[in-house]
């Protein structure tokens, strides 16, 4: 599907087209050069399980792939529990020899025009560099908190009940029970991404090259949740790899078990939320030490009425928003009326706005992870202080957003 009419004028030798199944080795080579890794044949076979060439767009110069962008299909949960179809943008790169020629902008413009044509309300990505995607309308929607817990000192409060119910299971059994447990977790977690069978097969394949010097995966299961982890014996560390809990009882029970592991000095979790409940379960919350905090998933609103109508809000509101979207021109004025029981968002071209918001900020607010007041202070949202406060209360979710699946 060649294109020569992208918003940024490309050099005549460069064309855009959809990928083909035969392109995968060349795509992996181009991606590996961009991100500093080599893909083994075994790794390529794993990727092939998720690879749909129709969802990948490449820039080609003299027969060589010099730019890539692709996507995976997901459902993503909004505050209130509704799930929307979303595109998970991935494999974005441009060859170092072809920078500053408009290739990335052309790829992103063509890709996102296709998302709009397909009726997708939102697109998502995880960013290797934080300065790239704001200009395409993406805002940080979830945050990762990396934390270490000193196991021997991490004692749960005496009043925390020990409900039990945790058992050790093998990978085959986890593969059988985890999808439904994850689905239950995702249904109540803003920002959570769905996983189909191919994702589960890849995530639990557990190849040697995935282990980083640690053991193969171990799994703990509870009727309402599970956790997968590895043991780094040299560092006496338990690395939490994946966790999903549909009830508070399961969350507490699984953490109680992790903190009882023998021959482990530190439990390392890389995907906690900024206000993770585990620290409040402990008699000494300082034993959960933050060693890093960084952006997780970014969100890009493609259909303002669809996404704002689908989510629920923390308080009743009736506002006209002027959404600014210079990249895709999907903004405009919209009237949002909603609350805890539902919402409606409709075009309102002739109405006077009470708030002006950049589409990047709307992506950050979408799952309840950002604060409207902070966005206003940063110049991404303009409104009277009372309106900002109401928007902050309305968009805040009941729990911190987590996407759960790296893509």
Catalytic positions are 133, 407
**CA 391 – CA 373 distance, rounded (Å):** 8
For the record, the structure tokens of 198 come out as: 């191919």
Sign of the C-alpha dihedral, residues 275, 276, 281, 287?
Answer: negative
**CA 33 – CA 38 distance, rounded (Å):** 8
The tally of CA atoms less than 13 A away on the side-chain side of residue 36 is 1
Sheet-wide strand order for 332-339: 342-347, 332-339, 317-324, 355-358, 381-383
Q: Angle of helix 24-35 relative to helix 41-50, nearest 10 degrees?
A: 110
**CA 163 – CA 85 distance, rounded (Å):** 37
Other CB atoms within 10 A of residue 29 CB: 14
Smallest Cα–Cα separation from 300: which of 111, 26, 45?
Answer: 111
Contact 355, 382 (CB under 8 A): yes
């Amino acid at each position: 599907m060649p294109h020569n009419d992208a918003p940024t004028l490309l050099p005549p030798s460069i064309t855009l087209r959809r990928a083909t199944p035969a392109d995968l080795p060349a795509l992996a080579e181009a991606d590996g050069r961009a991100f500093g890794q080599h893909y083994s044949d075994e790794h390529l076979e794993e990727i092939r399980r998720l690879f749909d060439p129709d969802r990948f767009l490449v820039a080609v110069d003299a027969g060589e792939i010099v730019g890539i962008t692709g996507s995976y299909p997901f459902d993503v949960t909004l505050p209130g529990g509704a799930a929307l179809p979303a595109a998970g943008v991935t494999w974005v790169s441009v060859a170092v020899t072809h920078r500053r020629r408009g290739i990335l902008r052309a790829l992103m413009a063509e890709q996102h025009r296709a998302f709009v044509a397909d009726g997708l309300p939102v697109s998502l990505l995880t960013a290797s560099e934080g300065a790239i995607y704001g200009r395409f309308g993406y805002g940080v929607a979830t945050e990762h908190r990396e934390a270490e817990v000193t196991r021997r000192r991490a004692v749960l409060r005496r009043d925390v009940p020990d409900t039990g119910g945790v058992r050790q299971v093998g990978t085959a059994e986890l593969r059988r029970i985890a999808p439904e447990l994850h689905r239950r977790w995702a249904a109540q977690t803003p920002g959570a991404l769905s996983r189909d069978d191919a994702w589960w097969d890849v995530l639990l394949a557990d190849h040697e090259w995935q282990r980083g010097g640690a053991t193969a995966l171990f799994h703990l299961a509870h009727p309402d949740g599970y956790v997968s982890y590895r043991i780094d014996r040299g560092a006496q560390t338990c690395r939490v790899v994946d966790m999903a809990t549909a009830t508070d009882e399961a969350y507490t029970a699984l953490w109680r078990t992790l903190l009882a592991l023998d021959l482990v000095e530190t439990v390392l979790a890389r995907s906690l939320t900024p206000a993770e409940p585990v620290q409040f379960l402990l008699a000494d919350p300082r034993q959960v030490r933050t060693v890093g905090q960084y952006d997780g998933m970014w969100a890009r609103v493609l259909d303002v009425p669809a996404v704002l109508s689908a989510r629920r809000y923390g308080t009743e509101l009736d506002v006209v928003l002027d959404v600014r979207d210079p990249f895709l021109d999907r903004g405009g004025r919209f009237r949002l009326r909603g609350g805890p029981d539902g919402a409606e968002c409709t075009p309102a071209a002739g109405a006077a706005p009470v708030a002006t918001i950049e589409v990047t900020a709307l992506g950050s607010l979408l799952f309840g992870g950002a604060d409207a007041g902070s966005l206003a202070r940063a110049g991404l949202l303009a409104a009277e202080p009372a309106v900002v406060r109401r928007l902050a209360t309305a968009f805040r979710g009941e729990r911190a957003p987590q996407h759960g699946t790296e893509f």
